Every structure is written in C-alpha cells, then in structure tokens.
C-alpha cells in the first residue's frame, strides 16, 4: 500500500478521495487548513469512519516548511487545496495567487525535494480556457450548444486565463505540466468541470449544483445570473475519483499529460432552464428564484471533450445527472441540520 498526501483533504473532493484511499488500505495524510465551511464536518466524517487509520495535518499550502514536512516520503500527491471562487479572486487577487500559484509551486518543489519519486496529480479547472467568446454558440429554447465542437472542448484548445482565478489556477496547471518535462516528475493535470456529490457544502460562488439543492431544500434565496440557459457538463464525484485511480494505474501512459474531466456531452444540463424543472420535480414543489446580470467571464457553455481520457486510461463518466442529482439531494435532505449553522 502507498503513502499518499491529499492536500485539501477535508474539502469536498479531497474527503471523498481520502475516504476511497483509506478504504483501500493506503496510508493517507490529510493536509488542510480547515478554512472552508464544512471542512470540520468532513474531517469528522473521516474520523468516525476510520478512527486513527489516517493522519490529519493542519496546515496551509503557502507554508513551505509545513508542506515539506507533510510531503516527506510520500509516493503520491493529490494536490486539491486551492482558492476556488472567481469572485473571491477578483476581490482578493493576492491571496488567490498565493494559495493557487505559490501553493502549487510549494507542492511541486516538495515532490522534487522530499517525496519518494511521487506521482503528482493536480486538480486544475476548465476556467483556464477563459470565457471562450470566440467559440461559435447557438442559442436554443432551454440551452446553448456549440456550433462546431459537438464532442466538447479538447485539451488542445488555446488557454485564455480570464480572471485572477483563471490566472492562478492556470499557473499551477502549467507549472505542473512543465515539471514533468523539465524535472521528469510523473505529473498528471486534470482540468475539471462541474464536480458534484455528497459532502459538498456548495455556495453561490462555487459548487452551484449543491448550492441550488441546499437552498431549495431550506427555502433560501437562489439567484440565477444571466438567462439560466448556460450549459455545464456535470461529473459525479465517484466518477472523478475513478479517473484519479485509473490514471495512476496507467502512469506509463498518463505521466506528463493533461486531461479534461467532465460529464461530456451526454451529462450536460443548463444551469436553471433544465436544472430548475428537474429540481422542482424531485422536491415536488416550485422553487422561486431571482435574476441577476451576467457575471464577467461566465461561459455560456462549457462541455469537456473527455475522449482523451477514455483513449489514455479507459475512463468515461458513468453516473448520469438523472442518477447523481437525486443522490446528492438525498444527502442534503438527510443532513439538513448541517446547513442551518
């Protein structure tokens, strides 16, 4: 079994990944500063499930000394810790840069310096492609669709960092990719699209699927920015973790590569024109929303072309929104006390 470091390990994706890895018998170091709402709940979930079968290290990725200590001797690093909201990056770009760019640099240097020839997995974002205003988009009754790329956006699409968040995550994306070329690190970059699932404490700025379900369940206000026909491809968190594990198993193919990970064309929904009626059907009642202006850099449509991942390591998403959204809603309803804090 491997010794594995998961940064942001008490976050939504991190805690689901840690749970999977600990269940498989790996020695997992969960590294997190517990700054995000819900991180303490997620950490307690791990402790309830596994007791002392994992190590929790409270720490910040900006702290080089702490990062170096946490990474000592590990064989895998999943770097998930980040500042995750575009709006926060606009209001505080320095903090955004230090967490996302400097933090990633610290982890890469620790991988070179003290880890045990690790596999380094970096959670990037589709925001590295920017607003994509030059892509042909056709407006339909309940959604937008691409005119020229029906399979979605490929990894070869030009980068266009739009917003401080796009810049900082893009810097980490490119640093991780280049450390494979320059230093021979076995790195994998995943440009992720709209991940959702249990243990997600979604808020308006990030994690919109969970945010809408939490707000609708508790009767809180929901604001739809733009016309609500923006399209995103939804990826259930279990499918994402399957991709992480398969990519590591095929490291001879995946080392030094970049992959788009999302639900692809088959698992795409518009954020309210289609998601709203589905939510109302699941709840059995209407859900009131208010409207706001379009937000800067908001893509009218993003769908990932995930065929490279299928070719490279045999992965494709399997949990459809029709299955995954009710699963997440049940988790929210069963844990509604957590959202009343």
214-217 long-range Cβ contacts below 8 angstroms, 24+ apart: 214/332, 214/339, 216/279, 216/283, 216/287, 217/283, 217/329, 217/332, 217/333, 217/336, 217/339
Q: Which two tokens stand for residue 224?
A: 């739809």
Q: How far apart are CA 37 and CA 85, in angstroms?
A: 13
CB 261 within 8 A of CB 305: no
Q: Where are the alpha helices (DSSP H) in 255-306?
A: 275-283
pLDDT, tens only, 175-192 = 999 999 999 999 999 999
Q: What angle do CA 81, 261, 33 make, to 5 degrees?
A: 10
Predicted confidence at residue 331, as pLDDT, reads 97
pLDDT, tens only, 272-323 = 999 999 999 999 999 999 999 988 767 899 999 999 999 999 999 999 999 9
Q: Which residues of 202-214 are buried (b: 16+ CB within 10 A; e: fewer)?
A: bbeebbbbbbbbb
Predicted confidence at residue 341, as pLDDT, reads 63
CB 217 within 8 A of CB 247: no
Predicted confidence at residue 297, as pLDDT, reads 67
Catalytic residues: 165
Q: How far apart are CA 240 and CA 316, in angstroms?
A: 9
Predicted confidence at residue 266, as pLDDT, reads 97
Mean pLDDT of 40-56: 97
pLDDT, tens only, 140-167 = 999 999 999 999 999 999 999 988 999 9
What would the CATH number be for the domain defined by 3-340? 3.40.50.720
pLDDT, tens only, 109-139 = 999 999 889 999 999 999 999 888 889 999 9
Mean pLDDT of 197-212: 93
How far the first Cα of the chain sits from its last, in Å, is 38
This prediction's pTM: 0.96
User: In the structure, what pLDDT confidence band is assigned to residue 7 with cuts at 50, 70 and 90?
Assistant: very high
């Amino acid at each position: 079994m491997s010794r594995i470091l998961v940064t942001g390990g008490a976050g939504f994706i991190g805690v689901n990944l840690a749970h999977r890895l600990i269940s498989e018998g790996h020695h997992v170091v969960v590294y997190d500063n517990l700054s995000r709402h819900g991180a303490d709940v997620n950490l307690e979930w791990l402790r309830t499930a596994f007791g002392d079968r994992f190590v929790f290290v409270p720490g910040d990725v900006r702290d080089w000394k702490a990062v170096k200590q946490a990474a000592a001797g590990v064989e895998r690093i999943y770097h998930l810790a980040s500042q995750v909201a575009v709006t926060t990056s606009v209001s505080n770009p320095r903090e955004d840069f230090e967490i996302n760019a400097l933090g990633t640099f610290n982890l890469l240097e620790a991988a070179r310096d003290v880890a045990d020839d690790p596999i380094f997995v970096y959670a990037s974002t589709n925001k590295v492609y920017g607003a994509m205003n030059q892509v042909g988009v056709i407006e339909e009754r309940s959604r937008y669709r691409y005119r020229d790329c029906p399979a979605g956006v490929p990894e070869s699409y030009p980068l266009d960092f739009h917003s401080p968040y796009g810049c900082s995550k893009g810097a980490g994306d490119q640093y991780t990719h280049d450390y494979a070329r320059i230093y021979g690190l076995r790195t994998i970059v995943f440009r992720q699209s709209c991940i959702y699932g249990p243990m997600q404490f979604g808020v308006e700025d990030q994690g919109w699927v969970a945010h809408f379900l939490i707000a609708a369940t508790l009767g809180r206000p929901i604001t739809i920015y733009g016309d609500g026909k923006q399209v995103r491809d939804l990826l259930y968190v279990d499918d994402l973790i399957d991709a992480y594990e398969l990519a590591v198993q095929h490291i001879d193919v995946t080392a030094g590569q970049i992959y788009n990970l999302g639900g692809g064309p088959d698992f795409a929904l518009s954020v309210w024109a289609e998601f709203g009626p589905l939510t109302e059907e699941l709840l059995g009642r209407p859900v009131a929303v208010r409207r706001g202006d379009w937000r800067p850099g908001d893509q009218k449509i993003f769908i990932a072309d995930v065929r490279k991942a299928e070719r490279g390591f045999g992965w494709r998403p399997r949990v459809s929104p029709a299955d995954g959204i009710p699963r997440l809603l049940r988790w929210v309803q069963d844990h509604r006390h957590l959202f009343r804090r």
